[in-house]
Amino acid sequence: MSLSLPDSQRVVVTGLGAIHGLGHDPDAFWSSLKAGKPGIDRVELFDPEPFACQIGAEVRDWKVEEHMDPKEARRNDRYTHFGYVASIQAVVDSGLEMDREDPDEIGVLVGSGIGGMLTYEQQLRRLVEGGPRKVSPFTIPALIGNICSGMVAIHYGVRGPNFGVVSACATATHAIGEAMHMIRRGDARVMIAGGAEAAITPFAYASFCSMKAMSTRNDDPQTASRPFSMGRDGFVMGEGAGVLVLEALDHAKARGAKIYGEVAGYAATADAYHITMPDPEGKGLGMAMKRALRGAEAAIDDVDYINAHGTSTPYNDKFETMAIKRLFGDHAAKLPVSSTKSMTGHLLGAAGGIESVACLKAMQDQVVPPTINLHDPDPECDLDYVANVARSASVNLVLSNNLGFGGQNAAVVFRRI
């Protein structure tokens, strides 16, 4: 079943971009997910010894100068490096010939939950140690959360909608959903949308550790992210980017583009409960899932797979499970649900972008990625979490959830067409 919209308002995905420690492009990343490969190890970007959490999913063997002008790379933060390169990957994958497109009809919406944290730390240290004159004139452009979108627009010369979404760990899903609405409204014909994050830094770790939000399973990094399991003790930080090229269906058809799937529905809601803890009844997330499915004109039983937020924190996994069970009823017991964060760690503002890539690849290959490290399930988390090994399945409609501090929820529905 397709949406009852004209092709000019139906929105499809024609390009994917992904940067992660599990792979520096979408195909390599997806191959690692299908294989159940863990991407978490001891942090090498700084000395983690003084920190309670000493592990993360870093992007290693990465030379941004191979993908970006070295001068521009020096002027920009690591998060922008990831988002910029992933955006170019997605455009190349889409087959768009930018010099033949109308630049006024193409926009960029690549968000970041935290932005240039590394730049902030480095320049603050310069201020403290050397005084005001030591602070770089590129500090503000490098650390602000909209600059990745601006850099991509400058690279391609596109003048459509362009800004950055900031909604913590719901950022990239909000960016993708809002980009879909922009195309439906006629504000653009093509949108480059997703998220980027590079928050594996001392200040970020000190801050999250002080909240006791991060795993301290430092002796066994690869099993530290264990969503829905007994003994889960917090999230593990990841970094990277996930970006999609979205375009109106009639535009994609006219140029003979390959189509990964349709962005069929999306919703954003608030818990209005607590700044960090999700609603214990999952009301806000449940409403987001329900409204996203309504927007997709999809029934509960149409959903073939849920890519859960699944952070490996004690509260989130339990409350998300409750929300799914309440909304899906009897269908919940038959519905594959997995958390790819068990392999990727938590990319914060980029989580929804990289997880959307996983969802679209799952539809393409008809394979559900696993939740690894699930050997001792929590009795309160009693759904089919596709434990440890990927599964061949009929995957035609996928729901992806992301939640952020502040009680912000986002859900997006992808449909195979």
For the stretch 210-233, pLDDT in tens is 999 999 999 999 999 999 999 999
DSSP 279: P
* Residue 60's CATH number: 3.40.47.10
Among 81, 148, 346, 359, which one carries the catalytic annotation?
346
Report pLDDT for 320: 97
Among 169, 174, 251, 381, which one carries the catalytic annotation?
169
158, 296: one domain: no
**309 is known as an active-site residue:** yes
179, 322: one domain: no
Rounded Cα distance between 61 and 67, Å, is: 13
191, 269: one domain: no
Rounded Cα distance between 27 and 317, Å, is: 28
Among 81, 309, 359, 381, which one carries the catalytic annotation?
309
For the stretch 114-142, pLDDT in tens is 999 999 999 999 999 999 999 999 999 99
Q: 270: alpha, beta or left, given left = phi > 0 and alpha = psi -120 to 50?
A: beta
Q: Check pLDDT > 90 for residue 3.
A: no
Q: How many angstroms from the chain centroid is the CA of residue 138?
A: 27
Which of residues 199, 221, 254 is at a domain's end? 254
Rounded Cα distance between 334 and 329, Å, is: 10
The confidence band for 4, taking pLDDT boundaries of 50, 70 and 90, is confident
295, 348: one domain: yes
Question: Residues near 375 by Cβ (< 8 Å), separated by ≥ 6?
Answer: 229, 387, 388
The predicted model scores a pTM of: 0.97
Report pLDDT for 44: 98
**375 is known as an active-site residue:** no
Q: 30: alpha, beta or left, given left = phi > 0 and alpha = psi -120 to 50?
A: alpha
132, 269: one domain: no
Does residue 5 sit within a domain?
Answer: no
Mean pLDDT of 75-98: 98
Strands 190-197 vs 106-111: parallel, antiparallel or unpaired:
parallel
Instruction: Report the domain count for the chain.
Output: 2
Instruction: Determine the structural domain holding residue 354 and report its residue range.
Output: 265-412
239, 302: one domain: no
69, 189: one domain: yes
For the stretch 333-386, pLDDT in tens is 999 999 999 999 999 999 999 999 999 999 999 999 999 999 999 999 999 999
Alpha helices in 338-413 (DSSP H): 341-344, 351-365
Is 231:377 a contact under the CB 8 Å cutoff?
no
For the stretch 253-287, pLDDT in tens is 999 999 999 999 999 999 999 998 888 888 999 99
Q: Check pLDDT > 80 for residue 59.
A: yes
270, 291: one domain: yes
For the stretch 395-409, pLDDT in tens is 999 999 999 999 999
378, 312: one domain: yes
Does residue 259 sit within a domain?
Answer: no
Q: Check pLDDT > 80 for residue 1.
A: no
**What does the mean pLDDT of the chain come to?**
97
201, 62: one domain: yes
382, 271: one domain: yes
